[in-house]
Amino acid sequence: MKKNIIRKLFIKLSKIMGYEIIDQNDFTSPTLDKQLNEDLSILNEKSIVLPLGEVKISRKVKSILVLFRTNSNVEIWDQNKKRLFELPKIEYTWRSLNSLIKSINFSKIKYPNINFKTIIVEDNSKKENITRIDELIAKNNIDINIIKLNHNNYIDIVKKQKSEQTFSNLCSLLKCFQIAKEQSEDLVFFVEDDYLHFEPMMEEMIASYERIASQLNRDIFMCPADYPYLYMNNEKTNILIGNKRHWRTIDKTLCTFLTTKNLLNKYWDNFYQTCLDRHDPFEKYLNEIYKNEICISPLKSLSLHLTNINSSYGLSPFIDYKKLWEENKIND
């Protein structure tokens, strides 16, 4: 009995002093009142990963603006190849948005104090496709604002392109960057409409952002996908510990990535230049940012880019593509 009293006092004192106790004998943390295989981290306060211990969170996430960019008329931009499963583009857009909504809702439950805001930039899809998107939003009872892109607003800004699809792509990307500049408060996540997301994607992005940005004492960029091209040149990388997986440093992304309002403002010229003309590579000015800033991607992937199976910018390794695809099927 005396031992129990002393133990309880020690636990209470540890809590007051801000320390956590690990009892490896019964595989628990008495101060957190959790099993060690549970999530031991506390958002905005501390990140705990065994056996590495605790990271105090100095970079606290307050809000995230999600910008989903879609054109369900374009089957696969700048290519004649077909996507994995070879279905009409609306099916990919629909499942992509469904998986994103599920991930956002999952994170809202886990992190109720974070403000989530989602905007869809819709680029002249067919009426029936827009109706399907509206129905999906209504079905999930989620507040999403849809902004329809007007190409006329960009005729004097974006250089005329060889194809209407490329011009449209540049315009919609610039619109997303402009909205982010005007409306974002903290994190901003740019998402294209041909990615499938695992349900914990958003949770892992947010929690890992807090942990890694706090350790590095700086804002960073994050990409949710582990692309094949990252393994083709045997480039050196650094491995970091996130919330529930490893992350690696990278120096290239596509146009689905997360960053902050501060970095968006700091490198606004790069963001803006990306959209004025078709560059080689398309993300040339974004990739220049990563010479000065840290960008990371997960091991293994949190999102799946549904391109042609042979694309170096597409399917992430070690993912059950069919399972993730079926999990996001929407029943009418």
Where are the domains positioned within the chain?
Answer: 2-38, 63-327
Domain 63-327 CATH assignment equals 3.90.1300.10 = no
> Per the structure block, which two tokens stand in for 291?
């010479």
Q: What is the pTM of this model?
A: 0.93
pLDDT confidence of residue 19: 72
pLDDT confidence of residue 11: 66
Instruction: Show pLDDT as tens, one digit a residue, over the chain (332 residues).
Output: 656 766 666 667 766 666 777 778 788 888 888 888 888 888 899 998 988 888 999 999 999 999 999 988 877 766 778 899 999 999 999 999 999 999 999 999 999 999 999 999 999 888 888 998 999 999 888 889 999 999 999 999 999 999 989 999 999 999 999 999 999 999 999 999 999 999 999 999 999 999 999 999 999 999 999 999 999 988 899 999 999 999 999 999 999 999 999 999 999 999 999 999 999 999 999 999 999 999 999 999 999 999 999 999 899 999 999 999 999 998 76
Give how far Cα 181 sits from Cα of 33, 188, 276, 327, Å.
Answer: 42, 9, 17, 34
pLDDT confidence of residue 332: 66
pLDDT in tens, 148-174: 999 999 999 999 999 989 999 999 999
pLDDT confidence of residue 173: 97
pLDDT confidence of residue 72: 85
